[in-house]
Structure 1
Amino acid sequence: MAKKRTKQPWMAADDFGRSLPRGIGVNLLVREIAPMEAFCRDVLGAQIIYADEDFAAIQLLGSVFMLHADHSYLNNPMTGVITGVETRGAGLEIRLYGADPDRIEVMARKLDHIVLAGSVDKPHGIRECHIVGPDGYVFVPSLAIAG
């Protein structure tokens, strides 16, 4: 693992790991932390718990997920999966239930992110849009349609 951080992290890695609740966790491997951090904060409306050049912890819709920069994963088995891959997360939709698709679409367009599909009511009872974030990850904010 190579680290670029020059500051002290907000908590020890092992303490953070032990603090995570049971359930499903998401860790996005990104080329650089800053663009995805800004996307999560400015487009998705997430709270940045902590971020540096190597790692970020993000809180969104009551869940916590992580970002790790590629350089911080050099000795990790995932390195072989991402090496040479242009678009990350191919085939994965990161669904954000309870996130306003209209607001997020407006912010994504304002900040020049790709909108794969604009906000639309779907037959399965939700309104959603598809937004491409940094490194090609696709986020799908959605709200239940009042009925």
Structure 2
Amino acid sequence: MVMKRTKQPWMAADDFGRSLPRGVGINLLVRDVALMEAFCRDVLGATIIYADEDFAAVQLLGSVFMLHADHSYSDNPMRGTVTGVEVRGAGLEIRLYGSDPDTVEALARKHDHIVLSGAVDKPHGLRECHIVGPDGYIFVPSLAIGG
């Protein structure tokens, strides 16, 4: 494992792992943690719990997810799945239920991110848009229509 951090992490990795609640977790492998951290904060409205050059813990809509820099996964079997891959998350939509698609779309445009599809009411009862984040991950903020 290759780490670039120069500061002390806010907690030991094993303590953080034990602190995570039961449920589904997301960990995005990214080329640049700071770039994805800024997107999560400035466009999606996330709170950054902790971030350094190797790792970030992000809180959004009551959930915690993680960002790991590619270099920090040098000893992990997942490393090979992103080596040389230009666009990541093919076929994956990261759906953000309870996130205002109109607001996120406006912020994405303000910060020069790609809006794959603008906010629109869908027949399945949600208003949503599709935003391309760093490394090509697709985020879909969604609100119930009339809710």
Calculate the TM-score normalised by the size of structure 1: 0.99
1:47-88, Cα deviation, whole Å (9 max, x unpaired): 000000000000000000000000000010001111111101
The secondary structure found in structure 2 opposite 1:21 is coil
- The equivalent of 2:31 in structure 1 is 31
- The equivalent of 1:51 in structure 2 is 51
* Unmatched segments (≥5 aa) in structure 2: none
CA–CA distance in 2 between the matches of 1:79 and 1:50? Answer: 22
- The equivalent of 2:100 in structure 1 is 100
CA–CA distance in 1 between the matches of 2:129 and 2:70? Answer: 28
Give the letter for the 2:68 counterpart: H
* Unmatched segments (≥5 aa) in structure 1: none
The secondary structure found in structure 2 opposite 1:75 is coil
- The equivalent of 1:69 in structure 2 is 69
Give the letter for the 1:103 counterpart: T
CA–CA distance in 2 between the matches of 1:83 and 1:40? Answer: 23
Written as runs of structure 1 = structure 2, the 5 A alignment for 1:1-147 is: 1-146=1-146
- Deviation (angstroms), 1:134: 0.2
- Deviation (angstroms), 1:132: 0.2
The secondary structure found in structure 1 opposite 2:25 is coil
- Give me the identity figure in percent: 82
Calculate the TM-score normalised by the size of structure 2: 0.99
- CA RMSD for the aligned pairs? 0.6
- Deviation (angstroms), 1:126: 0.4
The secondary structure found in structure 2 opposite 1:95 is strand
CA–CA distance in 1 between the matches of 2:83 and 2:30? Answer: 11
CA–CA distance in 2 between the matches of 1:83 and 1:5? Answer: 21
The secondary structure found in structure 1 opposite 2:106 is helix
